[in-house]
């Protein structure tokens, strides 16, 4: 059974001592509040912990966790306009986001290769 997507977000992170948020992950939330974080392997645990700790509404405004800043950008509307509303659409979503910003979303490249 296909799971409906509830949200697609680009996760931007401000490293300790920095003042610039940089796209560092893609978060996909499905209908049963399950989520998937796509990011560099070295950051995966930290990003998952931050997403578990804070409600989405707070992450959209920006939060601090373990000396990092975290902020989500909601791109759900852009994806639903493309008709990508189910879990089977995740590869298409990741491809579209990668094509928009390959420099920062470099970690998606291995996922997208056949």
Range of the domain at 58: 5-112
Closest CA relative to residue 73, chosen from 29, 40, 27, 36: 27
pLDDT digits (tens, 9 = 90+) for 86-105: 999 999 999 999 999 999 99
- How far apart (Å, rounded) are the C-alpha atoms in residues 73 and 59? 9
Q: How many domains does the chain have?
A: 1
- What is the per-residue pLDDT across 45-71, written as a single tens digit (0 to 9) for each? 999 999 999 999 999 999 999 999 999
Report the C-alpha gap between 26 and 107 in whole angstroms. Answer: 10
Tell me how far apart the alpha carbons of residues 99 and 94 are, in angstroms, rounded to a whole number: 8
C-beta separation of 51 from 37 below 8 A? yes
Query: pTM value?
Result: 0.93
């Amino acid at each position: 059974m296909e799971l409906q997507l509830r949200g697609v977000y680009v996760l931007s992170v401000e490293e300790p001592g920095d003042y610039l948020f940089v796209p560092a992950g893609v978060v996909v939330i499905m209908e049963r509040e399950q989520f998937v974080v796509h990011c560099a392997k070295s950051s995966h645990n930290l990003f998952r912990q931050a997403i578990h700790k804070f409600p989405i509404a707070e992450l959209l405004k920006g939060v601090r966790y373990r000396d990092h800043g975290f902020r989500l950008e909601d791109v759900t509307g852009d994806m639903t306009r493309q008709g990508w509303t189910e879990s089977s659409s995740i590869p298409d979503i990741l491809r579209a986001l990668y094509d928009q910003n390959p420099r920062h979303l470099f970690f998606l490249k291995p996922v997208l290769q056949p």
